[in-house]
Homo-oligomer: A and B are copies of this chain.
């Protein structure tokens, strides 16, 4: 679908549909997980994959894992901006995080091709975000 065919919001941004949002979530390999930890908003980049419509990523002991263990509502964002052209887009997902414990499922996720750039520390857990809301916006340049 051409960008010009998307409806616009009150700020003049193109409103991306769900298929396009999912396509863009698959297209980039780094996203940002956002959650509330000890009452404070936290945002951390992660290498992610898309499994069906779910966002998946690896993590180890820490605040990201705690969110998933307690099935907290988290947000996940991907975007891409071109400073020269002053254009860009972003996709925001909100959903509950959960740790993947099923071994067959873990085997499948390991084959998704999600590579952690940072050193991976043991033990490693897979976290799945099941989207409840997905929205995307793109800045039109004309």
Contact = CB atoms under 8 A, between A and B. Distances in A.
Size range of the chain A interface in the assembly: 35 or more
Contact of A41 (B13, B36, B117): B36
A13 to B, nearest CB: 6
Number of copies: 2
B40 A88 contact: no
- Tell me whether chain A's interface is mostly helix, strand or loop, or mixed: strand
A14 to B, nearest CB: 11
A114 interface: no
A43 to B, nearest CB: 4
A119 interface: yes
A45 B11 CA distance: 14
A66 interface: no
